[in-house]
Amino acid sequence: MIKHRVAVLISGNGSNLQALIDAANQPDYPAQIMLIISNKTDAYGVTRAKNAGIAAHVINHKDYSTREEFDNTLNKILKQYSIEFVCLAGFMRILSDGFVNEWRGRMLNIHPSLLPDFKGAHAVRDALAAGVKEVGCTVHLVTEEMDAGEIIAQARVPVFADDTVEKLHNRIHEQEHKLYPHALKILINNK
């Protein structure tokens, strides 16, 4: 079994990162998580990386005057580790067109809605406010347009009458943790 080299980019808790690490620890999973990059110094995902013995780099976007300079630094580190696939997992930065182009077809994002519904940074809150009966999560290829690339996999999640944003997001997270490893495997196997 060839294990392809994957980097995960995060900004926060990193529960999806953890799901990918756990999946990749299975001998028959076609990927290994080689590198974690966070743009936030205090992201708990960095601790998860360290606990798993995986290289973690914090690149604070505030240290860069342009998006392109920040992205160039990301790219350099990804190259240093000979990364083949990139997973965005709660990475709350928009990437420049050049970076997206470089990783076209090899970069995934997970989003907490049934895309194309509820794009953007507040998908769960927006879905709850809209009163929909069903939400979900989507793993898609990253393209220049936010939350709009080809969909690789989706999972559905019911909305209950007493839901809060937190309760609903927790229920979505449970599905995300199964969906992301599944979608990464699909992408790698189709390459």
Q: What residues are annotated to the active site? A: 111
Q: Does 30 bind ligand GAR (CB under 6 A)?
A: no
Q: Which residues of 59-70 are buried (b: 16+ CB within 10 A; e: fewer)?
A: bebeeeeebeeb
How many residues belong to the site for ligand GAR (CB under 6 A)? 16
Question: In this chain, which of 24, 54, 89, 114 binds ligand GAR, going by CB under 6 A?
Answer: 89
Q: Does 14 bind ligand GAR (CB under 6 A)?
A: yes
Query: What does DSSP assign to residue 94?
Result: P
> What residues form DSSP beta bridges with 136?
156
d(CA 28, CA 43): 29
Shortest-Cβ-distance residue relative to ligand GAR:
90
Longest dimension (CA), the chain: 49
Residue with tokens 């808790």: 13
Nearest to ligand GAR of 71, 176 (CB atom): 176
Is the Cβ–Cβ distance between 110 and 88 less than 8 Å? Answer: yes
Q: How many CB atoms lie within 10 A of CB 171?
A: 18
Question: In this chain, which of 23, 59, 70, 176 binds ligand GAR, going by CB under 6 A?
Answer: 176
Question: In this chain, which of 7, 31, 78, 110 binds ligand GAR, going by CB under 6 A?
Answer: 110
Which strand (E) or helix (H) includes residue 154?
strand 151-158
Nearest to ligand GAR of 76, 156 (CB atom): 156
Contact map string, positions 127 to 166, toward ligand GAR, x by CB under 6 A: ----------x-----------------------------
Q: Does 39 bind ligand GAR (CB under 6 A)?
A: no
Residue 20 Cβ vs ligand GAR, minimum distance, rounded to whole Å: 9
Nearest to ligand GAR of 1, 121 (CB atom): 121
Residue 99 Cβ vs ligand GAR, minimum distance, rounded to whole Å: 16
Q: Is 73 left (phi over 0), alpha (psi -120 to 50) or beta?
A: alpha
Gyration radius from the chain CA atoms:
16
Sites of contact with ligand GAR (CB under 6 A)? 10, 12-16, 89-90, 110-112, 121, 123, 137, 173, 176
